[in-house]
Structure 1
Amino acid sequence: MNERSVARHAGPGLNRRRFLAAAGLTAAGAALATTALPDKATAAPGTFPVPVEDVRHTRTRMAFPDSSAIWGAKLSGVQADIALIARTIAKYEPVVVCANSASAAKARTMCGPTVTVVSSIPVDDCWMRDTGPVFRTDGYGGLDTVGLNFNGWGNKQTHNRDALVAERIAAHVGVPFTYADLVGEGGAIEQDGAGTLMATRSSLVNRNRNPGMSERQIETAMCDAYGASKVIWFDGVKGQDITDDHVDATSRFLAHGEALVQMPVAADNDAYARDARLQYSTLSASTTAKGRAMDVMRLQGPDYNKIRSTNRDFLASYANFYLCNDAVISAQFGDTRADEAARATLQRLYPDRYIEQLNIDRLGTGGGGIHCVTQQQPVA
């Protein structure tokens, strides 16, 4: 789940930035969130690194939400956006959607025949980037997974089912699974596949995820889980959205030594706009784990006064795109000039891929985007 790099100040209502009390944590969920991490049998660091996201995939994994307690009146629109994303990706690679038994038939109808819906892995919500397993490869045909001990973004939302999604998908695929030595979410960590990670302190160096752990300890756990050796940290924005400012709505790796940052318009000066500018300056002054200077591109964000949505919590992140085989799946927000500029930028960055821009405004009102609701399974 995700964040936002240039969204407006939080207002009332249910979304990834400010959740409703109606979606409050159950006692069982609270107990699960505070349970000690499972015993690990993690592979040696670097043995199974997480590849950069532009590698070929065998499939994409998603989740179909059905909780009116979480989404309220927004649920049907969010379901429609999830189905649109699934159908679009399915033009390029297989898509498997996890749905609860009660809503599996609806998911099949909305997603259509090109998408596979499974009801054996129950879910609470749709944010597969955060709840799903992180797939790792060894470069020799081996594939395994790691779970990040999802705890509802710091115990903020019911997650009894979502906390088990990563392990259950790994079992469904039939690949080894281990738990990382930290609590986090996939949207909180970006990897270049060559030893470098980036993340916000606000999400991970946070007592609601990792109480009692120092930044160095969290960094070591991240590197062990991802097969990396260096973390580029951003301060982020704590306490203003449910994710505490995930990195993948603002900064993304393109390749080893190459990244992009979505920049706010000049007039924006809220906490997220300031954070985006700091992420750009930090990345521009950074080197990779292999000592290469970072080449950082700018991706201009839209003008919030010109987009379709008037929701104060809307996430308008072009940077939250998803790479699938032969395509880039991104969002468009109704600021025609900015939408076209974002398409052109993505086309320059990925000249051999088709750029799909989708209207996912209903999902955006929940503070998330396309990357937030997808999880790639790379070719081993």
Structure 2
Amino acid sequence: MDRRHFLRAGAGVALAPAIWACGEASNNMVQAGPRYEMPLESEPHERTLMQWPVNLDVYDRASLRHVQRAIARIANTIVRHEPVAMLVANADAASARSLLAGEVELWDIPTDDLWCRDSGPTFVRDASGKLAVAHIRFNGWGNKQPHANDALIAGRVAERLGMPLIETGLVGEQGGVEHDGAGTLLAHASCWVNPNRNRMSQNEVGEKLLQALGGKKMIWAPGIAGKDITDYHIDALARFVGPGKLLIQLGDTIDPDDPWSVSGHETLEILQQSTDARGKRLEILRLPDPVDIRSAEPDFVASYVNYYVCNGAVIAAQFGDTAADGRAREMLQALYPGRTIEMIEIDAIGESGGGIHCATQQQPKA
């Protein structure tokens, strides 16, 4: 399960923000909770933020239009359930508006690509309910893709909303960490403890993540560095659906010739041996991969768990495998009772190496 292959990202990559230097590590690290914490995605939202992709150093013109249509399809689905703000420079607003529902608001914030989960703001909340943005600096997944505009998005959103921007000392992406809303964080070390983002030990990175997101316990799995542009984000493999409860998409048996299968099962074994921040064993639910999918692209990301939870709905991908799509719908409905399950075709985004969760970012209600 390849997360995002390298498209046309060889040229014109912007310089990364400074990478903080520091120097092994326990797998499950515990720390007292700080002032701010990141709410669970399923808590009420003020709005969803998304980014309009425009960069022709990343896509050719035909691919870009396909990806834009898929982004519009996601936004037009979410806006039936909650407000959506599309980040797009005024120069590109007419192109965006031609595909977006009238209810989708356009914010004049320039973008490069669509991955708002990674380059967008990480919202955190204090005990009084006041929101802030924890500034996890985006550097194009380790300077692998142009990101001159995307690197500035978190700060620009914080400024527009009048929110504090809290320095975390971290370079990385929110798609690379999962949280359960009760103090437990999960990540692949390959995309955080990596000199292309942070020159620190695993313990040091973990401490900063716990501080940034309000966590109390860090669960690390190794992941894989260098096989895809993200260095293996966790949100294509496993998601917390609630305190101590995980959904993982993984086949029953290990394919020794498939590094994603080997790594995924290694993550699963660690999770099976881990406890959450409350000291309880994790509850782990399994969902199989689809098989008979529409896309023939070898690096296509067919991840059901890369779904997005918004007010009253779960927005998930369907891939054309009727049986597998049906199982995913049933599982999501059981996990999120009372919410509408919206399964939509986003193949152009899967062919770009991501999914619906990667393309969205929630702003919690204060």
- The answer for the alignment partner of 2:226 in structure 1 is 239
Native 8 Å contact 1:51 1:193 kept in 2: yes
- Count residues in correspondence: 354
Structure 2 counterpart of 1:375, one-letter code: Q
What SS is found at the alignment partner of 2:341? Answer: strand
Asked if 1:253 corresponds to 2:240, the answer is yes
- The answer for the alignment partner of 2:354 in structure 1 is 368
Native 8 Å contact 2:190 2:223 kept in 1: yes
Structure 1: gaps (5+ residues)? 1-5, 8-14, 38-43
Deviation for aligned residue 1:102: 2.0
Asked if 1:333 corresponds to 2:342, the answer is no
Deviation for aligned residue 1:145: 1.0
Distance between the aligned counterparts of 1:54 and 1:351, measured in 2?
Answer: 12
- The answer for the alignment partner of 1:224 in structure 2 is 211
TM-score, length-scaled by structure 1: 0.90
What SS is found at the alignment partner of 2:248? Answer: strand
Structure 2 counterpart of 1:243, one-letter code: T
Distance between the aligned counterparts of 1:281 and 1:90, measured in 2?
Answer: 38
Structure 2: gaps (5+ residues)? 22-31
Native 8 Å contact 2:19 2:197 kept in 1: no
- The answer for the alignment partner of 1:109 in structure 2 is 98
Asked if 1:133 corresponds to 2:121, the answer is yes
Change (3 A) 1:265 1:102: farther
Distance between the aligned counterparts of 2:127 and 2:364, measured in 1?
Answer: 11
Distance between the aligned counterparts of 1:36 and 1:298, measured in 2?
Answer: 37
- The answer for the alignment partner of 2:84 in structure 1 is 95
Deviation for aligned residue 1:251: 0.7
After superposition, the CA RMSD in angstroms is 1.7
Asked if 1:377 corresponds to 2:366, the answer is no
- The answer for the alignment partner of 2:17 in structure 1 is 33
Q: How does 1:292-371 map to 2 (within 5 A)?
A: 292-303=280-291, 306-371=292-357
Distance between the aligned counterparts of 1:261 and 1:267, measured in 2?
Answer: 14
Distance between the aligned counterparts of 2:169 and 2:287, measured in 1?
Answer: 33
Distance between the aligned counterparts of 1:133 and 1:329, measured in 2?
Answer: 20
Native 8 Å contact 1:33 1:155 kept in 2: no
- The answer for the alignment partner of 1:168 in structure 2 is 156
Native 8 Å contact 2:20 2:198 kept in 1: no
Structure 2 counterpart of 1:106, one-letter code: S
Distance between the aligned counterparts of 1:364 and 1:378, measured in 2?
Answer: 26
Deviation for aligned residue 1:299: 1.6
What SS is found at the alignment partner of 2:99? Answer: helix
Q: How does 1:9-158 map to 2 (within 5 A)?
A: 16-21=4-9, 24-26=11-13, 29-30=14-15, 32-34=16-18, 46-72=34-60, 73-119=62-108, 121-158=109-146
Q: After the TM superposition, which parts of structure 1 deviate over 6 Å for at least 4 consecutive aligned residues?
A: none
Q: After alignment, is 169-178 or 276-285 more displaced?
A: 276-285
- The answer for the alignment partner of 1:286 in structure 2 is 274
Deviation for aligned residue 1:260: 1.1
